[in-house]
Chain A
């Protein structure tokens, strides 16, 4: 099993540009989570899906952030327009049973 796959691993963009982060969960996992990690705020849950349906998006910072899961094997997190304060490492995680979330390697986003 390849584990959770995220792309790109690194993204550098300029303020105002649109950024799309991608995630492929582990096959058979019906939960998918997006987290953001910064030095100041630590690891924060942004949104999670169950069977491709968004269940809780209370952690999404503002309307500039949106997430979709068009099918069981793919999810995107989009930031439009991006701002320097969005610079962080974004992790995707998937889960089959309630106790274990499997995290991807993360995408390091830098907004200049």
Chain B
């Protein structure tokens, strides 16, 4: 199973951009990179995913390194509601329905 490495925690000020890094040096060519987040006392929710190109949606942007060994989730303007644990996940190319959630990055947003 391809693994991901994320910082345990990060802190941001409200209304400032946040860059959440993820290393996945053993990624295979067909693995998609997914990001989910888990707000306090809730189930995880989908944020964004990508394969090779950078991706944008209403929640965030995903920047993927050219060698695909790392990626960065970008929240353009953090709000207090964005305080959560953010998980970087590689979708298993052998069994694409199995998501392996690591320990994630706990994001704290200060007012």
Contact = CB atoms under 8 A, between A and B. Distances in A.
Interface of A: 4, 31, 33, 42-45, 48, 50, 55-56, 91, 93, 95, 98-106
A44 B99 CA distance: 9
A75 to B, nearest CB: 15
User: Secondary structure of the A side of the interface?
Assistant: strand
A38 to B, nearest CB: 12
Given A99-B32, A99-B34, A45 B99 contact: yes
* Count class of interface residues, chain B: 20 to 34
B43 interface: yes
Interface string B28-65: 00001010100000111110010000000000000000
Contacts of A55: 97
Interface string B9-30: 0000000000000000000000
A105 B97 contact: no
